[in-house]
Chain A
């Protein structure tokens, strides 16, 4: 049996909606697993990413751990795909860039409604937030962008089919939207 294409996926500052949209390809996932083998992804138990052909990233970069994971993916993947509005321009989470990080933390953990024993989490296990949320292409080189919040399953499927078959990547008008 020929080696299958190795695919890894990750959610950084994402909502897992892009992964749900990937799963919205429904029964076509059976065709997909004929062609690909999943490495590290929220759908498998693999903790460390190995060498992969394709890495698909959902979510922007909002904390130190996101940066580490993203760089790991870039190191191990021949092709890196930025999937969804968040990884492309920060998305809804980047609306916090309107405020100082300090203001956000204080609102959530000190002055928010119903907060008891108010304190901002300070354990070294918790990754520190970055001052701003960033698109992933501001941290690593990105090879392909799949817009949408989330990208429709058909768009993701078209992309994977064309990528795996070596065809040029082209989308129909209604496959592309930013919302």
Chain B
């Protein structure tokens, strides 16, 4: 017997062990998310997929679907909360979209458009982390990293390399590279790694290919992320 729950009144079937996010994705219902990628184990760090499940706020990506649950996602309150979360991500880093080659094809930006964020209204942190351009084919701007850990999970689980890790505590949490010098160029990182193609923002970027796509034809120029899908769905190795 197929079991069901509802999202904003829409009946969604699910199978044993599926999360709310899995079942919603399978049913073609978009729930905003940044750290989730169905290829990897969910971790619930970005909190954007927070939905109301029978009256409680829970991350859709880590919450198992249950029979007859009443899930609310597209409510004014939840969208306002998502805008706040997005603003926090924007002020924590240096998200200078006009000078970022990921602009137009960035999931953070696209989700912010989708959620109707007009401006990050908090005090900006302006972090001063150094860019790592030591690798011949890839560069990392740590000031754009949103700590989704997709590169960490991809490198560990798909590439069996564990090139990346997250270290530090609180606001000092940052992405680190597993090599003697801490530099990407001295690690096992390769351009064909899955980890090279899962970053949803402009943190891990291929060199020499910036601004290749004309404005108007970039991933999210015409249609919102809810229709286009994730950045990693469109990345090639």
Contact = CB atoms under 8 A, between A and B. Distances in A.
A69 B229 CA distance: 44
Contacts of B123: 138
Contacts, number: 72
**Size class of A's contact patch?**
20 to 34
Contacts of A135: 119, 124
B124 A178 contact: no
B118 A138 contact: no
B73 interface: no
Q: Is the interface of B mostly helix, strand, loop or mixed?
A: loop
Contact of A177 (B113, B124, B223): B113
**Size class of B's contact patch?**
20 to 34
B44 interface: no
B99 A95 contact: yes
A92 B224 CA distance: 25
B119 A179 contact: no
Contacts of A95: 94, 96, 99
B96 A88 contact: no
A91 B98 contact: yes
A91 B103 CA distance: 14
B194 interface: no
Given A135-B124, A179-B103, A147 B96 contact: no
Given A90-B124, A98-B128, A138-B124, A176 B98 contact: no
Contacts of A137: 119, 121
A67 to B, nearest CB: 16
12 contacts: A85-B98, A89-B95, A89-B120, A97-B94, A97-B126, A132-B126, A134-B124, A137-B121, A142-B121, A174-B221, A178-B103, A179-B97
